[in-house]
Structure 1
């Protein structure tokens, strides 16, 4: 059986599935119906474009069944003003309430983030959610330990802050989200950045404050005790991290940013 089959009774022969297939795996049969290439199963990246574009349920992909493909609700209208404000008003939150973020909200944000695009639909990202504030504090200590070892002047101030009882590395956040991906996949960093950005926006829409954990990302690349504490599997690297929690303060304005530097051709 072919990976993709076409119901000729439903198909309108509009060519949409053939047009949107990134691998060009369709051709028309003598009657004008789309036909999946005989060797298409090996080249198909399971992106689902063909399933998504057919408005007549005429196409069946054996690994992307229609009953698992949610119908778009055409009655939902995207409010561009609200969307623009969400994107412009997002802040890197570094002051958090002590109360925990409901796990259900984090699950929802990850569920949205897993739909983020990835190169050839590889979907390489794996998620680690650390909910225990004490464990987050322990990880911050391992970051401090690493920065002491490498002895770079630019980090001296932060080490001093840590020694004074402040946490400049994970900002005393109650929770931490870490993503990792395979070292042998050339697009792991890009795919992970897209996924984590999508998570960040989904979290912001749910009232969760986030901030990229750059210190931890740096330390995870060079400090084996931190890798072990995180439980990063062999052959994977940390490709992104966010501290998160409920924001202690509410922001009221959108500060200005530099004008976009654009070259039009």
Structure 2
């Protein structure tokens, strides 16, 4: 059976467990009173958030929605090693040393393709991802900022952009790239200003991106200085071609590093409270 959502249940496979009905957050599914198989409750279609949980939760792959065949979904890792996941988190580092070369195309494609899986508030999935995926373009960003900073140093008083970065003045005057850290690539994530959670969605997306990147041997850096530079130099922000109604949330530098970390750090304990 099928409707405008291309919601289809294979009667020969469905075991009538009701998992899809129980897991529907907007309660738009029920057992058809005539045929006793799951169906979309008439009049509830506009409530759908396109989460596809019904497809994912079906234990026998009997359910399709939006034309998605469950046989084409990635299978779950039934027993992910918790220690390996913890090791990935513990060994995540902020890289500030990069080789001046592009990542290979296969790795870049993997990083871009992963982004379709990142969660967003109310399953909105309207994020915009602006990649600087060519080191020559990144060099143009670097030159623009370097030239702009040199001009700022000739002003008295110093503009707020430089005043906030007093600790880096010596490096900036010498031409050191303390803004982009020599990274060959950058990812800027923007959200619609009227989306459900525009402030946090870019940060969530970059968190997923960072861990996946480092699992591929790609260095990453959350960079507030780069974000400040994008906001300071409108010609750079314009090159990102953000759609109307979008605002850049945050950016991440990334690329092949010329350093290797050989062990995790040993951080101090964090403050944890059990709320009662």
User: So what's the TM-score if we normalise by structure 2?
Assistant: 0.85
SS in 2 for 1:243: strand
Provide the residue aligned with 1:23 in structure 2: 26
Query: Which residue of structure 2 aligns with residue 124 of structure 1?
Result: 126
Distance 2:149 2:25 in 1: 44
Aligned CA-pair RMSD: 2.4
Q: CA deviation at 1:143?
A: 4.6
Aligned residue number for residue 44 of structure 1? 48
Aligned residue for 1:128, secondary structure, equals strand
How much has 1:218 moved relative to structure 2? 2.5
Match of 2:13 among 10, 14, 17: 10
Q: What SS does structure 1 have at the residue aligned with 2:84?
A: helix
1:124 and 1:191 in contact (8 A); partners too: no
With 172-181 and 223-232 compared, the bigger mean Cα shift is at 223-232
In 2, Cα distance between equivalents of 1:228 and 1:159: 26
Aligned positions of 1:166-205 closer than 5 A: 166-205=176-215
* Structure 1 residues 135 and 8: alpha-carbon distance in aligned structure 2, compared to 1, 3 A threshold: closer
Gaps of at least 5 residues in structure 1 are: none
Provide the aligned length of Structure 1 versus Structure 2.
263
The aligned counterpart of 1:57 is 61
The corresponding residue for 2:105 is 103
TM-score, normalization by structure 1: 0.88
Q: 2: distance between equivalents of 1:242 and 1:107?
A: 17
Q: CA deviation at 1:226?
A: 2.5
Return structure 1 stretches of 4+ with deviation > 4 angstroms: 141-144
Q: Which ranges of structure 2 fall in alignment gaps of 5 or more residues?
A: 153-158
How big is the shift at 1:123? Answer: 0.8
1:153 equivalent to 2:163? Answer yes
2:81 is matched with which residue? Answer: 79
Deviations 1:161-202 (A, max 9, x none): 122020111001112122222122241231111111111111
